Homo-oligomer: A and B are copies of this chain.
Amino acid sequence: MPASPTLEDVARAAGVSRATVSRVINGIRNVDPAIQETVRQAIAATGYVPNRAARSLVTRRTGSIALVVSGAGEESEENPFHSQVFADPFFGRVASGVVGFLRPRGIHPTLMFAETDETRAQAIAYLRQGNADGAILVSTEARDPLPRLMVEASLPAVLFARPPEPIPISYVDLAHRTGAKLAADHLIARGRRRVATIAGPLDVPAAQDRLSGFRDAMAAHGHPYIPCAEGDFTLASGEAAMERLMAEHPGIDGVFIANDLMAQGALPVLRNHGRRVPEDVAVVGFDDSSAATASRPLLTTIRHPVEDMAAEMTRLLLAYVDDPDRAVTSVIFEPSLVVRDSA
C-alpha cells in the first residue's frame, strides 16, 4: 500500500492549516466558502482518505457496531455453532434488517459469535477495546448470560426478544400471543374443530407465548383441549412432531405450527399420510420466513416482521451510542395473518 496522503498534505496543497481542512471535512463551524472549495479540490487532488484509527483515537468513537450472535454452544467439530446459525433463515433476516438500516449511514457491522464463557469474555473484551460502539444482540438460547455481561460492562446494546429475567437493557420483540390468536381465529373461521399444535422449545419465551396464546384463543372458541407436540424450531423436528401427532391424533383437521421451518418439515409428512393440505388438514405456520414460500402448498402463516424489528434495534442502538444516558426502552411489534394456500 503506497503511503496515504494525510491531513497535513491536504493542508499544504490547499495553503491552509490542518485545522481548517478538518473543519471542512467534518462540516463544523463556518469556513469561508471560497476556502472550502479550495480544500475540497485539494482533497480530490491528493486522493485523501481520513485515517479511521487516528480519528477514533481522539473521538473515542469507532463509527461501527457489532452484530453478536450468542447461543447455546452445543457445538461440535463438524457442525460448529455458526454453521447452525447461518442455516436458519431467521438470522439472515436479522442481518438483512441491520444492514438495511446501517448501509445508508455508511456503517458496516462486525459479525461476532459467542457461545461459550470464553468466547463471551472475548466478545466483551473486543468491544471494550473500542472495536465497535455498541452491539446488536441475538440470543439463540433463553438464558444467555451475555446481555447481563453487556449491561455490567456498560456497553450500549439492544436485544432481540425479551430476556427471561428482567435486566435493564433495551429490546425489541413481537406480540407472540397476538400472533397465535390470529392463527387460532383463522383456523376456526376455516371451520376447523379438531386442531392440534406443534410448539417450539418451551424454554424459550417466544415458544411459550405462541403455545399459551394459541391455547387461550382456542379455549375462548370453546376448545379447551389442544394436543401439542414439541419441536425445536428445526425442519427435522417439525417432521418428527408431525409424525407423533398423526400417530396419536389421526383425526385432526388443522394444525398450528410455531415456526415455518417446522411446518415445512410437517407438510410432506401429512402428504405421506394421505392428507391433502388444506382440504383435509389446514396448516398455519409462524414467521413468514423464506420457508413459507419454499413450501408446497404455500404456507398460510403469521407475519413476524424480523427485518423491521432488526432495523428498529439498530436505530435504538445508534440513539444509545449518541446518548448513553438514554432511558432503556422496549418496542413490541404487532404480527399479522398472511393467508396463502395451506389454510
A-side residues, CB < 8 A to B, are 1-2, 4, 49-54, 56-57, 62, 64, 66-67, 80, 82-83, 86-87, 89, 92-93, 95-96, 99-100, 103, 106, 108-113, 119, 122, 125-126, 128-131, 154-155, 235, 264, 268, 290, 294, 296, 307, 324
Contacts and interface: CB of A to CB of B under 8 A. Distances in A.
Contacts of A80: 96, 100
Contact of A92 (B57, B86, B112, B264): B86
Given A125-B49, A290-B87, A296-B268, A154 B82 contact: no
Given A92-B86, A154-B2, A64 B125 contact: no
A83 B94 CA distance: 10
Contacts of A66: 108
Contacts of A100: 80, 82-83
21 contacts: A4-B128, A49-B125, A49-B128, A52-B53, A53-B53, A53-B57, A57-B57, A66-B108, A80-B100, A82-B103, A83-B93, A86-B89, A86-B93, A86-B95, A87-B92, A95-B111, A106-B122, A108-B110, A111-B111, A268-B296, A294-B294
A1 B154 contact: yes
A106 B112 CA distance: 10
Task: Please list the 4 inter-chain residue pairs (A to B) with the smallest Cβ-Cβ separation, ordered nearest first.
Answer: A86-B92, A53-B57, A83-B96, A53-B56
Contact of A87 (B49, B64, B89, B126): B89
Contacts of A119: 103
A243 to B, nearest CB: 13
Contacts of A109: 110-111
Contact of A129 (B2, B51, B67, B93): B51
Contacts of A96: 80, 82-83, 86
A129 B87 contact: no
Contacts of A155: 1
B67 A62 contact: no
A79 to B, nearest CB: 10
B93 A103 contact: no
Looking at A1, A49, A119, A268, the one whose CB has the most chain B CB atoms below 10 A away is A1
Given A1-B155, A155-B1, A294-B235, A113 B103 contact: yes
A109 to B, nearest CB: 5
Looking at A83, A125, A126, the one whose CB has the most chain B CB atoms below 10 A away is A83
Contacts of A112: 108
Nearest to A269: B296
Nearest to A96: B83
Contacts of A93: 83, 86
